[in-house]
Amino acid sequence: MTSKVVRILVAAVFCLSLLATAQTTPASNAAIPNAPSSASATPAATGTKVGTINIELAVSACNEGQRDLGTLSQKLGPKQTELKSLSEEIDGLKKQLNTQGDKMNEDAKTTLVKQIESRQKVFDRSVQDAREEAQSQQGEIMQRILQKMAPVIVKYATDNGFGMIIDTSQPWPQGPVVWYGQAVDITQPVVEAYNVKSGVPAPPPASPGASKPTTGAAKAPATPAAKPPASATTPKQ
């Protein structure tokens, strides 16, 4: 679902959110291990279990994440349609050059080549702008939700005897976790707990005939979209 930029943003916000929670949560809710020690700091968690959570998936799979990322996807739909149309136009011009280029005079061929180059530059700029816009808005959504989800993660972990929670958003070897079992993954229960706390209802199922706009070929990558929660607790191997 998400790009390297978004993953870095999510990881940074997660750490900051947990630190803030550790400094403000009452002692009865426990805190984050290794939080700065002071008279007002919350005691370290006493659990000994190590758990995992896919932060990106938890944020995008919760009802609020599905709702807001779905709204973003619809908002970006017209831009994807525009990019697809431009991509198809460029492909058509290239096909024309390949099939008719030998029969054209030099002026006509030069004009067609310049037209292709001009359209390609516009397309490349538009794709970059669309990607940056999507990443920025997706990052804002994930940051906002994660700030509210962090206390839920802390409470679930401490209530269930976990002394450490590791993010598995990135698979090995990009991420630090080589393998983990379903029994230690808390993604799904955290999503369920957050859904209760947020009060946001589950989004209605998509109609059978509904389809999301996509961009043409591999040259126009679609903007990021939320991942379904089906793999929330699937072990990585």
SS (H, E, C) 118-147: HHHHHHHHHHHHHHHHHHHHHHHHHHHHHH
**What digits encode the pLDDT tens for the residues 122-138?**
999 999 999 999 999 99
pLDDT value for 119: 95
pLDDT of 98 reads: 93
What's the full length of the chain, in residues?
Answer: 237
Rounded-to-integer distance, Cα 234 and Cα 237, Å: 10
Residue 52 zone, left/alpha/beta (φ > 0; ψ -120 to 50; rest): beta
Residue of 86, 78, 57, 91 whose CA lies nearest to 212: 78
pLDDT at 102: 87
* Per-residue model confidence as pLDDT tens for the chain (237 residues): 444 434 444 443 444 344 344 333 333 333 333 333 333 334 356 788 999 999 999 999 999 999 999 999 999 999 999 999 999 999 999 999 999 988 899 999 999 999 999 999 999 999 999 999 999 999 999 999 999 999 999 999 999 999 999 999 999 999 889 999 999 999 999 999 999 999 999 988 876 655 443 333 333 333 333 333 333 333 343
Neighbours of 212 (CB within 10 A): 13
Alpha carbons 49 and 166: distance in angstroms, whole number: 11
Token representation of residue 124? 């490349």
CA distance 222 to 225: 8
Write down the pTM of the prediction.
0.65
Computed on alpha carbons and rounded to an integer, the radius of gyration of the chain in Å comes to: 23
Run of H or E including 93: helix 63-100
- What is the residue type of 217? A
Q: What is the pLDDT of residue 45?
A: 63
> Can you say how many angstroms the Cα of residue 21 is from the centroid of all Cα atoms in its chain?
23
